[in-house]
Amino acid sequence: MTSSETQIFKTTTWSPGPGCHGGCGVLAHVKNGKLVKIEGDPDHPMNQGRLCARALAMTQYIDHPDRLRSPMRRTGNRGEGKWEPITWDAAFDLIEEKMNKIREEYGPESMVFNVGTGRDIYAWICMLAYAYGSPNVMFGLTGQACYGPRLAAAITVQGDFAVFDAAQWFEDRYDHPGYKVPETMIIWGYNIHATCPDNLFGHWIIDLMKKGTKIICIDPRLSWFGSRSKYHLRLRPGTDSALVMGFLHVVINQGLYDEAFVKKWSNAVHLIRKDTGKLVRESDLFSGGSEKNFAVWDTKDNKPVIWDTTLVGFKDTPDADPAVSGEWEIKTADGGIVACHTVWDAFCARANEYPLDKVENITGVPAKDIHDAAVLYAKSKPGAIHWGVAVDMTPALTPLVTGISALWAITGNLDVPGGNVFARFAFDVVPYALPGTKGAIRLKTEEQDKPRIGANRYMPLNKFYWRCQTDMTLDQIFTEDPYPIKGMWIQTAGIMQGLGMDPKKWRAALEKLDFIVAVDLFHTPTTQYADVVLPAGSFLEKDSFRSWWVPLQTINKVVEVEGCRPDVAINFELARRFDPEFKFDTIHELYDDILKPAGMTFKELQAKGWAYPPEGSASCPYLRHEKGLLRQDGRPGFRTQTGLFELYATLREEWDLEPMPHHEEPPFTPVSRPDLAKEYPLILSTGRRSPAFFHTEHRQIPWLREIDPDPVVEIHPTTAAKNNISHGEWMWIENWMGRARYKAKVTPVVPEWMIMAPHGWWFPEKKAAEPDLYGMWDANINQLIPMGHQGKDGQGAPIKHSMCRIYKCEGGRS
Ligand SMILES: Nc1nc2c(c(=O)[nH]1)N[C@H]1C(S)=C(S)[C@@H](COP(=O)(O)OP(=O)(O)OC[C@H]3O[C@@H](n4cnc5c(=O)[nH]c(N)nc54)[C@H](O)[C@@H]3O)O[C@H]1N2
Ligand SMILES: Nc1nc2c(c(=O)[nH]1)N[C@H]1C(S)=C(S)[C@@H](COP(=O)(O)OP(=O)(O)OC[C@H]3O[C@@H](n4cnc5c(=O)[nH]c(N)nc54)[C@H](O)[C@@H]3O)O[C@H]1N2
Ligand code: SF4
Ligand SMILES: [Mo]
């Protein structure tokens, strides 16, 4: 690696450095062991040479003087900013001793493993937690309100997650035979040109637009794509679920749905009892069996019908092809006769609760625009939808996600070219600990999972999201009920400066703990609360791989930064210390084990660079539900308990949660809290990402900070004038919880009734010690957002719609 000639290495970005969800291919130019230049790999099928500013600035990141280069031990009080360097051995010994003590005295569950957006480190955090014996891996965001909830909700009704199709499954991309360009694409609460999240890229949508795709943008703010859209539906934040009900209303009432799909592949023809409002199940039915002792009677045609009694629906037989609508009677086990209707009728009745004038009233979007946009999408064959994190950042996210999923399903856009396509891990290589994971990283026994916080209270969390519930965990640190929490492992998580809402509460929680380890590349406001801080390496300093979703590709070590270690090496060393039965001796052995389903070793994959799953495999589209590629039993259908796309979510009924989509007003809006609106008249939206930063990162990288030097809040010209605030002036944003200081950017991209404040601000150039804490208390917008408002299924939270007032900061910012 150390050559005086410039050598060019191919690798994949993921995590530390750019921030990365995406996995762009890059060419790293290295001379004398140092990174001298980085550029996009033109041969890489995902980014085709394109790269974000953060990756391009890696030359300023990798040897940055602020990078931690040795483990540090705190010598003063928490938050006092006093540290001494210690050796890696001393750090590991200290961590082992302290964490063993917690495990012996209080049990392994008393240690919480806190992760942020996680990236490739997520798997290794689970590995460490599970080797230690704790089920409490926590994504430290209130209501875990990013991505996971969307996945859980979509999987509940369709068995898999689905994403928009930009031919990313194929190495030849758009040239692939059988691929179709979507005629229309809905960009729903998504700032994707700047964020490229979740392994999807804004430039893909630009590619599609060049090929003719029309855009519908659903966003209160005029985003880059919004300004280039056919319809920009500027809704009031938090009312997306009403809007999707309006879309469904149009699609159903204008007959724009795909009847064949609805009949054959959804649970539309299952029955719902009118007396209880619940699904008819086999146990409800009279079991006499003869025609006279009918189980189900078609009241329209006056004859008995044959039913599949699994979760009562029509048998897939040639003579059983009823209409999706109808009135029926069942003879119940106790001999009574009960009237029923179909799931489809119940679903249509639900949509009919949302006529467009009502939806206009709730959302603020003109009824005509809703109508026209819905018709455009429904008539597009194919049409695609993709959603961003705004969808998770509301407490009633499941009724919203299931509504959007129903929209793409009933319009015939699911699992088809150019529509919404199931995303599966390439070759079924699953590094994460997920439900059903068979790989190396999982809890050893079910018993170990029992104390997982929130898993008994929230079934969606229990079944689909193997983490503890964040808001409950924070509370439990204070209450110690039902057991005390004594330690926290923090890795890839900026709890104080961006990940945690109500950071004062988090600070009090951290102060209460006996032992905290933080693993990061830099000191941050969060690390100031740790006992030990370990210096991690960037993506250029490690061997790793990624399978989220396709292709399967390696990350290749190209440089070394003295004193730092890759996260995986840190966690591997400690996992071996905590678990005498830990079964791997080297990290490459661990990788080989996880990569087994691909039939390749790590070295073999590394030699290829990347690999695409072959057609006909479960991780390659299309129409996998017809081909029997989705279900474990190999039968056609979806991976749900009915094998069908569930317009009525059977699991949610079992969990006493609302099984069909609907609108719920979030907790802090002018509609739900008119009392607060008198004092806090503006809607506070947060978190619109800057292309220069990844959340709380990069404020110390000169090129990036130059792009975006200050915390800037977007405010409409009329609102600014009303409050006597001019462009470029400092202003306070305030509500009942606290305040934060931002610079005004006066712009019509936001509506008059809303301001938009990005999150994650701190100032690495300021003092570390409290009360400064790198200036974080001045500009942290999360001080205005509460914890503890997760949705009914333990997920989602009101992050993108709070309330505030504003006023000029008379002294500017000293
Ligand atoms: N540059 C950069 N890229 C990133 C990140 C980063 O910090 N910086 N973070 C990464 C992470 S972890 C994530 S989760 C993703 C997120 O990526 P995105 O999902 O694109 O998230 P945001 O930038 O918050 O943009 C959300 C959009 O939703 C709109 N919005 C706000 N409230 C509502 C609402 O109630 N309804 C609707 N329909 N729209 C609303 C906002 O105006 C904004 O345009 O980005 C990832 N990529
Ligand atoms: N108000 C508001 N707050 C938000 C949001 C919002 O929209 N509005 N968005 C939320 C969302 S969606 C998310 S995902 C969270 C993100 O929250 P975080 O994931 O906590 O944010 P980051 O700043 O990306 O990362 C935190 C720390 O991890 C370090 N780090 C990065 N990569 C690695 C790595 O690979 N290894 C190690 N050891 N350290 C690493 C960084 O240096 C940084 O100090 O923020 C949330 N906060
Ligand atoms: S665009 Fe995303 S995936 Fe690509 S280098 Fe930048 S952060 Fe990483
Ligand atoms: Mo996120």
Q: What is the Å distance from ligand 2's center to 493 Cα? A: 5
Residue length of the chain: 814
Q: Would the CB of 15 count as within 6 Å of ligand 2? A: yes
Give, using CA atoms, the residue closest to atom 13 of ligand 1.
197
Please tell me the number of the ligand nearest to residue 708's CA.
1
For residue 146, give the ligand 1 atom closest to its CA. Answer: 14
Q: Which CATH number fits domain 72-146+427-609: 3.20.20.70, 3.40.50.150, 3.10.420.10, 3.40.50.740?
A: 3.40.50.740
Cα 499 to middle of ligand 4, angstroms: 9
How many angstroms is it from 291 CA to the middle of ligand 1?
Answer: 58
Cβ 698 under 6 angstroms from ligand 3: no
Q: Is 498 in the pocket of ligand 2 (CB under 6 A)?
A: yes
Distances (CA, A) of 305 to 292, 310, 322: 12, 15, 9
Alpha-carbon distance values, 795 to 87, 111, 291, 385, 784 (Å): 40, 22, 47, 22, 20
Cβ of 546 less than 6 Å from ligand 3: no
Q: How far is the CA of 217 from the centre of ligand 4 (A)?
A: 20
Phi, psi of 545 (to 5 degrees): -150, 165
Give, for ligand 1, the residue of 198, 228, 389 to mutate: max count of ligand atoms closer than 8 Å to Cβ: 389
- Model confidence pLDDT, tens digit, residues 273-299: 999 999 988 788 877 655 555 677 777
Q: Looking at the CA of residue 527, tell me the nearest atom of ligand 2.
A: 44
Q: Is 492 in the pocket of ligand 2 (CB under 6 A)?
A: yes
Atom of ligand 2 nearest to the CA of 782: 1
**Is residue 305 in contact with ligand 1, taking CB distance under 6 Å?**
no
The rounded Å distance from CA 688 to ligand 1 centre is: 5
Of all atoms in ligand 3, which is nearest to the CA of residue 19? Answer: 7
How many angstroms does the Cα of residue 20 sit away from the middle of ligand 1?
Answer: 14
Give residue 99 CA to ligand 1 midpoint distance, Å: 37
Alpha-carbon torsion 31, 33, 35, 41, what sign? positive
Residues 6 or more apart in contact with residue 615 via CB below 8 angstroms: none
What is the distance in A from the centroid of ligand 1 to the CA of 390?
Answer: 6
CB under 8 Å to 614, separation ≥6 — which residues?
Answer: 620
CB atoms within 10 A of CB 346: 21
For the Cβ of 202 lying below 6 angstroms from any atom of ligand 1, the answer is no
Ligand 2 touching residue 122 (CB < 6 A): no
Give distance in angstroms: CA of 158 to centre of ligand 4.
23
Ligand 4 centroid vs 113 CA: distance in angstroms?
Answer: 17
Helix residue ranges per DSSP H, 295-410 = 343-352, 356-363, 367-379, 397-410
Q: Distance from the CA of 791 to the center of ligand 1, in angstroms?
A: 20
Nearest C-alpha neighbor of 525 from the set 732, 771, 691, 781? 771
Helices and strands, counts by H and E, the chain: 26, 32
Ligand 3 atom at minimum distance from 26 CA? 5
- CA 629, chain centre distance (Å): 25
The finding on whether 224 has its CB within 6 A of some atom of ligand 1 is no
Domain ranges for the chain, please list them: 72-146+427-609, 155-258+361-426, 264-348, 674-808
**What separation in Å is there between the alpha carbon of 621 and the centre of ligand 4?**
26
Is 566 close to ligand 2, i.e. is its CB under 6 Å away? no
Does residue 23 line the site of ligand 3, with CB under 6 A?
A: yes
Residue 19 beta carbon below 6 angstroms from any ligand 3 atom: yes
pLDDT at 284: 84
Q: How far is the CA of 237 from the centre of ligand 2 (A)?
A: 23
Q: In this structure, are residues 154 and 184 in contact, taking their beta carbons and an 8 Å threshold?
A: no
Q: How far apart are CA 125 and CA 22, in angstroms?
A: 20
Q: What kind of architecture, by CATH, is found in domain 674-808?
A: Beta Barrel (2.40)
Measured in Å, residue 204 CA sits from the centre of ligand 1 at: 17
Pocket test for ligand 3, best of 47, 117, 191, 196 (most atoms within 8 A of CB): 196
Protein residue with its CA nearest to atom 38 in ligand 1: 189
Query: Do β-strands 552-555 and 610-611 pair in parallel, antiparallel, or remain unpaired?
Result: antiparallel
Q: How far is the CA of 329 from the centre of ligand 2 (A)?
A: 54
Amino acid (1-letter code) at residue 295: A
Ligand 2: does its nearest atom lie under 6 Å from the Cβ of 425?
A: no
Ligand 1 atom at minimum distance from 697 CA: 7
Phi, psi of 73 (to 5 degrees): -115, 135
How far is the C-alpha of 442 from the C-alpha of 127, rounded, in Å?
A: 7
Which residues of the chain are modeled with pLDDT < 70? 1, 288-294, 306-323, 433-438, 814
Q: Distance, CA 492 to ligand 2 centroid (Å)?
A: 6
What top-level class would CATH report for the domain 155-258+361-426? alpha beta
Residues linked to residue 682 through DSSP beta bridges, in sequence order = 804
Q: Nearest ligand to the C-alpha of residue 569?
A: 2
Give pLDDT, residue 286.
77
Instruction: Find the ligand nearest to 61 CA.
Output: 2
Nearest Cα residue to atom 25 of ligand 1: 191
> Does the beta carbon of 13 lie inside 6 Å of ligand 3?
yes
Instruction: Give 676-733 as a DSSP string.
Output: HHHH--EEEEE-PPPTT-STT--TT-HHHHHHS-S-EEEE-HHHHHHTT--TT-EEEE
Q: Does the fold of domain 674-808 match that of domain 72-146+427-609? A: no
Closest CA to 160 of 530, 570, 578, 639: 639
For atom 4 of ligand 1, which residue has the closest CA?
195
DSSP lists the bridge partners of residue 266 as: 645
CA of 686 to the centre of ligand 1 (A): 9
- 367 burial class (0-12, 13-18, 19+ CB within 10 angstroms)? middle
Of all atoms in ligand 3, which is nearest to the CA of residue 24?
4
Say yes or no: CB of residue 40 within 6 Å of ligand 3. no
Dihedral (Cα; 454, 456, 460, 462), 10-degree rounding: 90
Cβ of 800 closer than 6 Å to ligand 1, yes or no, is yes
- Say which residue the tokens 């008995």 belong to: 304
* Nearest alpha carbon, ligand 1 atom 19: 388
For a substitution probing ligand 3, which of 10, 11, 13 has the most ligand atoms within 8 Å of its CB? Answer: 13
pLDDT at 317: 44
Residue nearest to atom 8 of ligand 3 (CA): 20
Which ligand lies nearest to the CA atom of residue 546 in the structure? 3
